[in-house]
Structure 1
């Protein structure tokens, strides 16, 4: 079996490093010292019973979403969730609709299972929203699965409740599953961050503790699905990891009561940083954007057809500032900029971007 590399993840792991990294798409990672609860080594065990997940963690996730434990499948991060959804649902030749621009694993995973990919264009001119007519046209071609992100990666665009309901209704009519990666959704306010899960048995969602909470080292992700679909994906655990990391699941379970506190702690400085970026792009004639509704990334476009890949490379080499080349999201005239860094670092990085644009 041929295994194609996921180019973006290889780049992010091995070639994105810089003095100031604006390539990350989540808040900074927390250390043990930063956690809002005291963890004594003596009270933690390396091993314990977690056959398909540590029960208190499964219960904590279910409680947060108001669902049954039977709806919850634990994963090692949301990227593994994408793989498991595709593995659990797809046969070779099945038709899958994937948004464009897209986070690369959303494409790589269904391709790995030899699905036929159809693209749902989310266009700059339409504020990167989903065109319902395009969506219906693709469903009519026999799609089994639709894959979207909300907030959209890489743009930060938000699909509101009514827009999501319209997409769910069309998927139900067509007998397709709608899978939404919601890993960025809790950057939104409580009112706006309601999950799409529960709108239909055809809806599957995934999320994790990584992007919003800075707890990526725990590798705590999950899928929410109907009990029947969830059971299919739960069985994949025995093929992939057998069991999760017990001590990590215990720590994650203990942190769930503090998630809202962690989210609130980050809100003020993230809003201030978004304002810095907003002011910068508004004043910069060589850049345009669709302003993100929330989150910590945006997807500026270079004017006059200039290459975001070349710009990203020069910015890293000349100013030691890293942003994500747009080709990783299939739009070469763009780059993805993350702003979950200190305000001082962000100001320095934006000045470096301005300086390069002036002479480029």
Structure 2
């Protein structure tokens, strides 16, 4: 059974209902008119859209079409990846801090969840030796988010290759959730050439257009994997939804054609705001943060603090500022701070209203 995701349930209560949103972890939504530049969708019964979507995803990620299966966002892509590899009782090694749905999906397919630490005093890096020491004969999947959710820290390709080799030695797979990975160099030519799928034969990658490009409501996602796992994922799709909507395929094709212009938009929306966040955190002696180089969020922790969730909810009511509570990621004395949503001047106002949470 799939247990409830406490984080997603909490998000639905507050996101979109506060004046200062410093919690949303994706580029603000783009309108259809802005995204499509006047393009018209083909007839709704044009079934060539399915093949065009696969080809578009393959082109965007610079991989063969035979290694692609579309999905409804990264969330469904993760489910496809888990079900393609895991049987009940198999073990999954997840990072900590962790994005809660990664846990819930694993539990829902009957896997045993184990964790490896990404430690604050090590800059939240991934330590291959630590992971290797935790592998067992039942480990089938090592999972990494890149950029790390909630810290925003990038995992170098060299580390991912090491993890793939560790997994291979145990007949296991490495799964990389790379939905935030393009943020260090958003591809203005529309091609993301650095997918982790290309780092090893046993590497799977999941992603979507939801976070980097302002297309969260479109749910254009995918899994990249070896061909035999694509076949397993197709079986899951057939068993659960039959097939994805044809309208979704047509929207996805149009969205992928617009990625270059959407990348330029995203870059313009982010200019200078990470630096504002860093300057703000540095004012508070008890505050630490993950100092990500790329992306649109980082993890702020308060030395000596208890669970910040009640104070975060008080701050929402009294000051209208939303952040992502660290308790939902396994870091109760912290919060995920995002600079995605607001213009720079409004972001600064939101930071000012957030000071009682950090200074109190």
The TM-score, its normalising length taken from structure 1, stands at 0.93
* Structure-1 residue corresponding to 2:32: 32
Is 1:101 matched with 2:101?
no
1:118 to 114, 118, 134: 114
Match of 1:350 in 2: 351
Unpaired segments ≥5 residues, structure 1: none
CA gap 1:291/1:193 in 2 versus in 1, 3 angstroms: farther
**Residues 247-298 of structure 1, C-alpha deviation per residue, up to 9 Å, x if partnerless?**
2321221232331221122214313111110111122223111101211111
Q: State the Cα deviation string for residues 187-211 of structure 1 (Å, max 9, x = none).
A: 1226997111122221100000100
Give the alignment partner of residue 146 of structure 2, picking from 143, 147, 150.
150
SS at match of 1:54: helix
Report SS of the residue matched to 1:24.
coil
- Tell me, what secondary structure is at the counterpart of 1:99? strand
The residue that corresponds to 1:255 in the other structure is 255
Aligned to 1:322: 322
Change (3 A) 1:36 1:25: same
CA positional deviation for 1:227: 0.5
Pick closer, same or farther for the CA change 1:354–1:15 going to 2, 3 Å.
closer
Secondary structure (helix, strand or coil) at the match of 1:253 reads helix
Contact 2:62 2:193 survives alignment (8 Å): no
Per-residue deviation, 1:81 = 1.0
SS in structure 2 opposite 1:197?
helix
Question: Could you tell me how far apart the structure 1 residues matched to 2:159 and 2:287 are?
Answer: 28
Match of 1:82 among 71, 78, 81: 78
Query: What is the CA–CA distance in structure 2 between the aligned matches of 1:218 and 1:190, rounded to whole Å?
Result: 19
Q: Which residue of 1 aligns with 2:293?
A: 293
**SS in structure 1 at match of 2:271:** helix
Asked if the contact 1:44–1:247 (Cα under 8 Å) also holds between the matched residues in 2, the reply is: no
Show the counterpart of 1:56. 52
Deviation at 1:33, TM superposition (A): 2.5
Gaps of 5+ in 2: none
| Residues 301 and 334, structure 1, Cα contact 8 Å, conserved in 2 | yes
Deviation at 1:45, TM superposition (A): 2.8
2:61–2:193 contact (8 Å) kept in structure 1: no
CA shift, 1:356, in A, is: 4.1
What CA distance in whole angstroms lies between the structure 2 residues aligned with 1:247 and 1:227? 25
- What secondary structure does 1:300 align onto? strand
CA separation in 1, counterparts of 2:150 and 2:245? 30
**Match of 2:204, SS?**
strand
- Determine the C-alpha separation between the residues in 2 that align with 1:277 and 1:296: 10
User: In structure 2, what is the equivalent of residue 242 of structure 1?
Assistant: 242
- Assess if the C-alpha contact under 8 Å between 2:35 and 2:258 holds in 1: no
- 1:291-341, Cα deviation, whole Å (9 max, x unpaired): 012111111001222332123112111101111111110110111111112
